[in-house]
Structure 1
Amino acid sequence: MSYAMQLLIHRGDICHGRMLLPLGLRPLLRTLSSGPRVSRSLRESYQLLQLELPDVGESSPAQVKEAYLRMAKLYHPDSGAATADEALFARVEEAYRAVLAHQSRLQSCGGSMEEEEEKVKGVAPQHRHYLSYEGVGSGTPSQRERQYRQFRVDRAVEQVLDYRQKEHETAAAAEGALVERDVRQRSRQIKVTQAVERLVEDLIQESMSRGDFRNLSGAGKPINKFEHNPYADPMTHNLNRILIDNGYQPPWIVTQRDIREDIAQIRERLLQGQARLTDPMNPREHAQWQQLCGVVADDLMKLNKTVDNFNLIAPMLTMQMVHFSLEREIDRAEKAAFQGRQESKRERVREWEEQRREREREREKRDKIKTHQHSWQGGLLAWMQNLLK
């Protein structure tokens, strides 16, 4: 082969010289470049990737890529394998790039060296993308695992936020439909109310024109709406009157009523428990009384909290209430029970006296009947004796 042909075959001369070869010479150049003239470093690259040599057979780009992935999983320093070797992996990567460059050179000789390098860089896969964790993260396997977990958490949060946003939008649309329906119903009610008011006003005007209101007792006299307090604000009075007529009660009045009802129930429970006891108490009754006092103590604690809330909302200081004490309530129940016992004793004494008087009246009645019978018998005997005489 002549020196000129070698210059034409050499890639660098063709690329940098911007020479356009005839169509007949291109197959010849491809054959010569793919022939036995393969450098030692390229052969070592094929052997390192465990591929067939160019003079034995051709390897497809898919086979080259698969061989590179297999070697990367074995020798990559972050793969976690026992055969990991950073220097060897660098050699594998250089061999992979050389093989790709050789195959691309076999396919086409057009373009400059810079364009071919960019093409090789674009085709070469990034080894991290073909490891685990969906190609997310960098660093050691444990670091990539943590980064992948955080990535999954962030993705889940985004999905949840999207779902909630869709739910809120759906609820807002439904609420908007309900509000629109309520507005339509309210507008119809307002129209009906206005029609009724106009009808009533027309009837009143007709009655006034006929003179139906001239014979009223208060005709021509001012209406005294505020006899109880002439200094009250009319608007405030009307509002209070409307609230009272509709059964409204201020919160402090409701709370005060609840406190009175609760303390009345507690006192009734203590009084009934004290009334069932004997004097003196036996051990069983003493245990029952102690249990009842414990329950009442818990109820009084809750009631005292309600008293504190009432004192905060009471309109005047004179309306505030003091806490209820268990000792005072027990003393109150004992006094009431004692008075009840005394009253029951007096009631029994009165009943006994009434029964004794009733018995005495019955005995006197029987004595009168007997005396009358004796007197009647004595008179009959005296009349018979007189008759016989």
Structure 2
Amino acid sequence: MSYLLHLLVSRGDLCHGHFLLVLSQQSPLLRTLSSGVQISRSLQECYRLLQLPDEGGSSPAQVKEAYLRLAKLYHPDSGAPTADAELFARVEEAYRAVLAHQSRAKQPDRGTEVEDENSRGTALAHRHYLSPEGVGSGTPFQRERQYRQIRVDRAAEKVLNYRQREHERAAAAEGALAERDLRQRSQKIKITQAVERLVEDLIQESMARGDFRNLSGAGKPLRKFEHNPFADPMTHNLNRILIDNGYQPPWVITQRDLRETTAQIRNRLLEGRARLGDPMTPKERSQWAQLCASVQEELVKLNKMVDNYNLIVPMLSMQMVHFSLSREIDRAVKGAYQHRLDQQRAREKERERRKEEKKRANALTKPNNYRQGLTSWMKNLLRLKL
């Protein structure tokens, strides 16, 4: 017989010790088993392969449980160390044969074709999601791999279709936004045109009433471009309006604050050093140290203002460097020394001026004293003669 069964020992697996079944032809085996209800030798081997009693007294639930247990061991996708695609194919064929035998035992009068259809229609619970749908060729494991690849291709195609729909939806949304922006811009243009027409009407009415007849500078050219003829008129007019209304850029205000704060700190150091002697006494040195400490705190705040100013100043050449206490102290010492020299020179000039004034006064009073002395001498002489 061409459909004889051959027995092999499973992979030399001594821990299980089960005989596995190799079916030379699948379809003839099902036809042979469907020829009678009696348990044949090949069917007994199928029961043994499923680790069931070979008398055929197992229920369908027991057969299914035994098949699931072996599927966990030999299924190629189970991840177990005993997984083998060929051995699992033999276990699966034996399971189908046993199911076909049990179904024929329940319905012995039905034809072979009906039993074959029932056996082929029996779905495995754990392989529903692996149904190849008639795709592929080769062993069941090969067909399953081919079917998984087809499912991957289908999923990629669905993803591409979904992305295309999303792009189309986004493009439609962008088109709606562009249309809305266009409507808003057109509405703004209409409002601007309406305002311009209103202003023009008001100007014409004022001209008709003669409101512009007595304006200063009528008939004379405008002098709004005297500063720079190459400047943009619109920019110049806007800047002029801002300046006339007291507006100043933030960096200008910050620069002014920096200059004022720097002048106050330097005047404070200069006055404090000028009040102290040269050389300083220990008490004066302690006073000078306290003054320098307070100035150091103010310089820290001033340097933070310098950082903010450098961030907003429009030109790199206008940026400022940090202020140092040592440089400011040197400036104050030199300023105090120069102040002392200026005071000394002023005192010398004042002394010389007073000397000159005294000389002038003495020069004016000397002739008067001579005349008064001569007059008194003549009077005394006349008295003596009388």
Which TM-score bucket, shorter chain as reference?
0.3 to 0.5
Q: Compare the two structures and name the one with the higher helix fraction.
A: 1
Normalising by structure 1, report the TM-score: 0.45
